[in-house]
Structure 1
Amino acid sequence: MVDTREVYVEHAVRNLLRTSRTAHGRLDASASKGKRRQLAQGLTPLDVGSLATGNYRSTIIDLYDRRNLPISCATELRDFVESIVLSVNRGLVREGALYREDDSSSLPYTRADTLLSEVVGPLFEEFHQRLTRSLSDPVETAGWVEYRMDLTDHLWADGCGRSTKAVAAWVLMRAGHSLPVYPADRRSQFAAAPCTARTASRDREQEQYEKWLRYYRSLFETWPGNAAPAGDSGRIGT
């Protein structure tokens, strides 16, 4: 049975609270030296948590209502996804901040100076192909979204995890598929994340993607329905 809007929304918000430090009041600028200039200033932890959770809830409601939205081309898909990111980040980033502008000193993300010139166009072409393929697997498409938009290319100025999970949820809701159940432990969430840059080696990249996809598929095995895993109180790891 396909889930109702209420079930989808509450499940998505529960996943947010397990995985997002921002939803718990932490607007983190530690990923790169220049990230702080893209974030909104003067917010208290209470402001941050309230904005992150409220934005996400309203975004998921809107995405459920637009789950059957026809997408005719990659450019249209890109515009739609960018609107999702802006909705998720509303009030949390400075006006006009959308794509990441700086590189991480510790994580193997795609170089920021290649995102708009080399990465974004082909990424949305592939996303459109995956989304509209007649025999597409919605779980793999959603997993690919999280892998590319967050874990490897890390596209957005802030809220990559929140934004990509919202996009992935839209992919799954379009297919009437259940959402994944994320673990509460933050270390477990990133155990299958890539360790080297996506462009470093084609063979290594395939191994990393397959490892991530196996992990992502496992997140659906703890479903049924709206139940949370035993002992999960909805908190995130440290």
Structure 2
Amino acid sequence: MDSVPLTKAYLESLSTNDLLLLADDYGIDIPEGLNRRLIIGELLELAEENERFSSHLPVLADAAMPEPEQGLPETYNETRITAMIRDPAWIFVFWDFHTIQFTNLVANPRFESFFLRVNTFSREEPSKLLDFFDIDVGTHDRKWYIHLADYRNFCRIDLYCRNTGEQDRILAASGVKGIKPGNTIGCKGTARRRNPPLLELSGLSELRNTHFRNHRQSFD
């Protein structure tokens, strides 16, 4: 199947089981019960991302694992955001804006900032939102590495615009991404570490967790 282009017509000709096998070959973790249309959508998104990168990475074509930011085009001139799993603990995100839309957004007197919203969805119930947190980004930022504290579930990254006195506006959303369960075996953090009894009684453990929830961010 690898030699056949991932076109919509080709994917629609496959059985659901073949679609699942193809997704598995490409490392896409498909939630249980996801319908054919969404599976095809995930595969088409992957094919589009691969085509975009291959057209802009002629020099790095033979590299074993090129850093994605080394070959990113300066602009796609469209508002979109893409997320790529780097390993079980990190996700690489890059985005762009349509030129006219970007100009209008930042020229708005109420404009404050852009930010990324990192959403976590249940692996057992993919439509159930478990948690989210926001990361403020600069107007000229176009890429970010995000640390995934909970990589056993699914995540989606949204690009937002924040204006004073207005409801936050979503501009684009990435596809839903997840780590295949087998890839997390042996990863740091898969088991909860027990703290010494005195530390538990002191309340420092809860304080540390609260600090993490309130200040967890990413590293550029």
Structure with the larger helix share: 1
Give me the TM-score of the superposition, normalised by structure 2.
0.28
Give me the TM-score of the superposition, normalised by structure 1.
0.27
Structure with the larger strand share: 2
